[in-house]
Amino acid sequence: MISPYADQVDKETFAWLTASRMIEDPAELERYREAGYGYLGARTYPYAGHEMLRLVTDWCVWLFAFDDAFCESDRRAAEIARALPLLLTVLDDLETGARVENPFARSMLDIKGRVAAAGDADQLDRWRSVVKDYLFAQVWEAANREDAVVPTYGDYIFMRRRTGAMLTVFALVDLATGRPLTTDEWRHPDMRAISQSANDVVVWDNDLLSYAKERDGVNSRNNLVNVLARHRHHSIQDAMNQIGRMRDDAILRMLDLRARLEQMNSPAVDAYVRGLEHWISGSVAYSLTSTRYTRAWEGVATPAVGPRQRN
Structure-derived torsion over alpha carbons of residues 266, 270, 165, 120, reported in degrees to the nearest 10: -40
Mean pLDDT on 275-285: 96
Q: How far is 165 from 206, CA to CA, in rounded Å? A: 12
Instruction: State whether residue 307 is helix, strand or coil.
Output: coil
Asked whether residue 306 carries a pLDDT value surpassing 80, the answer given is no
Asked whether residue 97 carries a pLDDT value surpassing 60, the answer given is no
Question: Which residue would you say has higher pLDDT here, 52 or 231?
Answer: 52
| 132-168: pLDDT as tens digits | 999 999 998 888 888 888 889 999 899 999 999 999 9
Asked whether residue 101 carries a pLDDT value surpassing 90, the answer given is no
pLDDT classification of 311: cutoffs 50, 70, 90: very low
pLDDT of residue 216: 59
pLDDT of residue 213: 64
Q: Give percent of the chain with pLDDT exceeding 90.
A: 66
Q: How far is 115 from 127, CA to CA, in rounded Å? A: 8
pLDDT classification of 73: cutoffs 50, 70, 90: low
Phi, psi torsion values for 180, nearest 5 degrees: -65, 140
Contact predicate 141/159, CB 8 Å: yes
Among 253, 237, 69, smallest CA distance to 229 is for 237
Report the range of poorest mean pLDDT among 40-44, 207-211, 277-281, 304-308.
Answer: 304-308
Q: How far is 262 from 136, CA to CA, in rounded Å? A: 34
Instruction: State whether residue 8 is helix, strand or coil.
Output: helix
Q: How far is 65 from 67, CA to CA, in rounded Å? A: 5
pLDDT of residue 309: 32
Contact predicate 284/205, CB 8 Å: yes
Asked whether residue 227 carries a pLDDT value surpassing 90, the answer given is no
Asked whether residue 104 carries a pLDDT value surpassing 70, the answer given is yes
Q: How far is 283 from 274, CA to CA, in rounded Å? A: 14
Question: Which residue would you say has higher pLDDT here, 241 or 299?
Answer: 241
- What is the Cα Rg of the chain in Å? 19
pLDDT classification of 282: cutoffs 50, 70, 90: very high
pLDDT classification of 5: cutoffs 50, 70, 90: very high
Q: Give percent of the chain with pLDDT exceeding 70.
A: 88
pLDDT of residue 310: 32
Q: How far is 183 from 126, CA to CA, in rounded Å? A: 10
DSSP state, residue 69 = I
pLDDT of residue 225: 85
In the chain, the amino acid numbered 54 is: R
- What's this model's pTM, rounded to 2 decimal places? 0.88
Q: Give residue 282's Cα distance to chain centre.
A: 12
pLDDT classification of 79: cutoffs 50, 70, 90: confident
